[in-house]
Structure 1
């Protein structure tokens, strides 16, 4: 996935979840923050941030000309656009010759935002048997990860009852004969593992472990990040216990 019209700024403040004040070329500009999470460990006054400029903002009815999409944490560039993981996951899954966690099966016929029962999953697709004629329906829920401590990526950075509901929905889908995946897209490089953030939301960690025991495939991948791109890259070890 590619951004247009990238600019570099310096973070000043975040008055609320939706906007930030950023110093850009000697002026203070108001930016839309494309992540409603807390991001307290990232958005610290003085850090360098990446903005996407929208020259057609007024014509498009936007309130701001800029989106805050990335931040530097030390020497690591972190994409913090909460819409990016779904887009990047689609591109990644569409390019897979076989599905991780189920060798011998290839994803096909991808769809976005598919409702099943009382759940709405980010991706739905068909798995085709590579050396046979079998097919399996599948769902995937995608979670973006921006929280990192000492090389360990963690999710969530704030309690998420919605996330627990998604996991329960995936469990139910497995019981009904579907393949089900939760993909944690780690929006940075430089991590050596992923685990649920039991300190912030122990109920989510419990739900993730229960989903894994029920047959939901739990995947975590890091991303190659540049100021104007994000690409799902390499698998990261998932630590549940």
Structure 2
């Protein structure tokens, strides 16, 4: 996926999870952060960030903060990007006969439902932006919803679905994502339970630029 109009700026602060203060051409400006996670390892005062111009000129925040530069590499932090690039990938590779986003299952909406040769598939997508020593970790903040989705996927296996959780790695050079046990032990527990139930774990590696993100390949957690 490509952004329409990207402008670099310097990050100043983040008063709340929705808003960041940035320096844009010498002026302090409030912008919308397209990620409600903590991102505290990324959004450091003085770092370079990338802004997308909002399509609505009347909006109070004229830009969306979608990416940040760290150690010379760009990390996409747009929480809407993972689903968008996975949809592109699924349709481009023509692996499935049917790809349907936002599928109602149990008490949740699972990101993707697919069909192929009479088989039914469910896939939940998670974006990963927290990297430590070459490993990705999810989540970077507690998420009851994340654990719930994993348990829905585990339940779907018993009903005949092929289920998978897919981590979209929103930075280059990372090939594995692990549950962030210290931050969210409940998610880590649900992750282990899902694997035991037969849920597959996928890692989508990505090519990142200041104005876009695309999936470069797909790897699997080895049992």
In 1, Cα distance between the equivalents of 2:188 and 2:93? 28
Segments of 5+ residues of structure 1 without an aligned counterpart are 98-105, 129-134
Aligned to 2:73: 76
Deviation at 1:192, TM superposition (A): 4.1
103, 116, 125: which one aligns with 2:114: 125
Is 1:199 aligned to residue 182 of structure 2?
A: yes
Is 1:170 aligned to residue 153 of structure 2?
A: yes
Is 1:179 aligned to residue 168 of structure 2?
A: no
Structure 1 stretch displaced more, 70-79 or 110-119: 110-119
Asked if the contact 2:128–2:177 (Cα under 8 Å) also holds between the matched residues in 1, the reply is no
In 2, Cα distance between the equivalents of 1:237 and 1:152? 14
147, 158, 172: which one aligns with 2:130: 147
Asked if the contact 1:194–1:239 (Cα under 8 Å) also holds between the matched residues in 2, the reply is no
Asked if the contact 1:76–1:190 (Cα under 8 Å) also holds between the matched residues in 2, the reply is no
TM-score normalized by the length of structure 1: 0.88
Segments of 5+ residues of structure 2 without an aligned counterpart are none
Aligned to 2:97: 108
Q: Spell out, residue by residue over 1:139-169, the C-alpha distance to the aligned partner (whole angstroms, 9 max, x if none).
A: 1100000000111111010111110100011
TM-score normalized by the length of structure 2: 0.95
What is the number of equivalent residue pairs in this alignment? 223
Structure 1 segments of 4 or more deviating over 3 A? 235-240
Root mean square deviation, CA, Å: 1.5
Written as runs of structure 1 = structure 2, the 5 A alignment for 1:24-63 is 24-54=24-54, 56-58=56-58, 62-63=59-60
In 2, Cα distance between the equivalents of 1:18 and 1:127? 39
Aligned to 1:102: none
In 2, Cα distance between the equivalents of 1:79 and 1:209? 27
Asked if the contact 2:137–2:180 (Cα under 8 Å) also holds between the matched residues in 1, the reply is yes
